[in-house]
Chain A
Amino acid sequence: MTAFFQNTIGLPFGWAWFVATIVGILVIALPLMLAVAMIIYADRKIWAAMALRRGPNVVGPFGLLQSFADGLKVFLQETIIPSSANKVLFLIAPIITFTVALIVWAVVPFQLGVVLSNINVGLLYILAASSLGVYGIILAGWSSNSKYPFYSAIRAAAQMVSYEVSIGFVLVSLVLWAGTFNLSGIVDQQQGHVLGFLNGFGFNPLLFPMAVVFFISSLAETQRAPFDLTEAESELVAGYQTEYSSMSFALYWLGEYANVLLMCTLNATLFWGGYLPPFDWAPLYWVPGIIWLFAKILFFFFVFSWVKATVPRYRYDQLMRLGWKIFLPLSLTFVFLVSGYLMIARVGLPA
């Protein structure tokens, strides 16, 4: 796109790059917002269907416009700032959550060569940005100056740090296999990965357990059920967002679902072939890659909703046990197994 602005419109390189990047950001972020609105609707519909209810069905055809009505309602409400809250941090916290949920999309490849920023350390960038996400929650809890949000913030901090450890090790075994941190590179490596036919690291028996661990960890990382202890309504009112109202609440809402979408995308991209079709068979490549990616994202989103509708919430000690006593040893073992296998397969046994 930089070349287009440089040659067709005749801007100098710096400005062409600048304008192209801004346009790229808008092209990703605006549809993303729309997708978040629709995915909230989808979540409620799936959840309702599993509970044998109708779900939103009043606003617009099939209730499709429900999220927009909710958005308008929230937009018109008064922003309430508790008098004893730390005002600046109270307002910055939802902005952090929302921004962090958006910036990660910069490195996600949507199709072959379609990525805003094709950086070498893409995977590390995702880890770095998602580790920032916890600040939105901690700051909300602390700056609200209210006890339930504070409990929630402490839970969130412990939970996210714990599961990031196992996510880190899962990604290490993945990167060992792919040999690159670049997300497009990782997707390319998955072409015909298993038996020269199946596209995706997840089909590999050594990496499949890691794909499962990653999926469960991504549930914990986005604080979805069954790991939604940070907003366990029976214990903590609404968790860290108890004191929030109006747009500041809406930013949490959007940020949360943008994060869920992102985690679905990462599951699809890292383990299940991203924009590649599931089988390495020429006619399947006639479908554009972005369609395959969206289909995979929607599949994982359905599983997220399914889990939310059916699985009861974990107890806190069970959550910590799962993270530290099961996932961490498991992922460490698989780092060992994967690196051992790759050593034998790629370098050979020492004579």
Chain B
Amino acid sequence: MIQLIAFYLFAVVVIASGALTILSRNPVHSVLWLILAFFNAAGLMVLAGAEFIAMLLVIVYVGAVAVLFLFVVMMLDIDFAELRAGVMRYAAIGLALAVALVAEIIIAIGAWSAGGLQLGRRIAPIESDVPNIEAIGRLLYTRYLFIFEGAGLVLLVAMIGAIVLTYRQRSDVRPQNVSRQINRRSKDATRNMNPPVGQGVEL
């Protein structure tokens, strides 16, 4: 009963916030709706028994990706008139994407009555007594090891690529030498001249 209520609650909120993500006019609001959608999708995954994936979704997408997203969007100076002017230019691509998505939805609904999946013949049948994390770990580090490592490599290359592309050597700045700052003592910077009364200080 409570599971059913929770499912419909999460599902409705996911769909509603997904719709509001594209409908809201303020980009910051869009990101916030997107975050709400992520969050409720995580709730759905908990209901489906995939608590590890749910937590990862929240940690990675809500906790890191969306924060950076929000960071960028908040600082953007968005000109709405210009944005709207560009709509017609991309109308064709948008329409193509929309048609593809509609087709997918129709096929998905068509598969509704096609009968159940043959769960017994899956590559990784679920053992109900093994915790989620362990099951994923076993699969990830045995059967899918090379794909997993490959994905890690791709991310590493992407990261290094981004750094190489944006890094520029600047000669006009004086970088801080932290160890020099820490080792600096007051006698390195100040002198007590203690001049007699009536005389100036020679520096």
Interface residues, chain A, CB within 8 Å of chain B?
14, 17-18, 89, 119-121, 124-125, 127-128, 131-132, 134-135, 138-139, 142, 150, 153-154, 157-158, 160-161, 164, 181, 317-318, 321
Contacts and interface: CB of A to CB of B under 8 A. Distances in A.
A150 B56 CA distance: 29
Contacts of A321: 178
A128 B58 contact: yes
Interface string B127-145: 0000111000000000000
Given A124-B52, A157-B67, 4 more contacts: A138-B67, A161-B64, A161-B67, A318-B178
Which of B35, B67, B133, B178 is the most central at the interface, judged by chain A CB atoms within 10 Å of its CB? B67
A264 to B, nearest CB: 22
A132 B57 CA distance: 12
A120 B58 contact: no
A150 B52 CA distance: 34
A125 B71 CA distance: 24
Given A131-B58, A142-B28, A120 B132 contact: yes
A132 B58 contact: yes
Contact of B64 (A89, A131, A318): A131
20 contacts: A89-B32, A120-B131, A121-B133, A124-B55, A124-B59, A128-B58, A128-B62, A128-B63, A131-B62, A131-B63, A132-B58, A134-B67, A138-B67, A138-B70, A142-B28, A150-B74, A154-B74, A157-B67, A160-B67, A164-B63
B198 to A, nearest CB: 39
B176 interface: yes
A121 B137 CA distance: 14
Given A119-B51, A124-B55, A14 B1 contact: yes
A138 B35 CA distance: 13
Given A138-B70, A154-B71, A317-B176, A124 B56 contact: yes
B52 A121 contact: yes
Contacts, number: 69
B195 to A, nearest CB: 32
Contact of B59 (A18, A131, A135, A153): A131
A135 B51 contact: no
B55 A121 contact: yes
Contacts of A160: 67
Given A14-B1, A125-B55, A128-B58, A120 B133 contact: yes
A119 B46 CA distance: 11
Nearest to A134: B67
Nearest to B181: A318
Which of B68, B132, B133 is the most central at the interface, judged by chain A CB atoms within 10 Å of its CB? B133
B71 A157 contact: yes
Nearest to A88: B29
B2 interface: yes
Contacts of B58: 128, 131-132
A138 B74 CA distance: 10
A18 B132 CA distance: 25
Contacts of B131: 120
A166 to B, nearest CB: 13
Contacts of B55: 121, 124-125, 127-128
Contacts of A142: 28, 74
Contacts of A17: 2
Interface string B33-50: 001000000100000000
Interface in B112-133: 131-133
Interface in B68-106: 68, 70-71, 74-75
A34 to B, nearest CB: 30
Contacts of B70: 138, 157
Contact of A161 (B28, B68, B74): B68
Contacts of A14: 1-2
A121 B63 contact: no
A171 to B, nearest CB: 11
Contacts of A121: 51-52, 55, 132-133
Nearest to A125: B55
A109 B35 CA distance: 29
A226 B175 CA distance: 23
Contacts of B64: 131, 161, 164
Nearest to B3: A14
Nearest to B26: A86
Contacts of A157: 67, 70-71
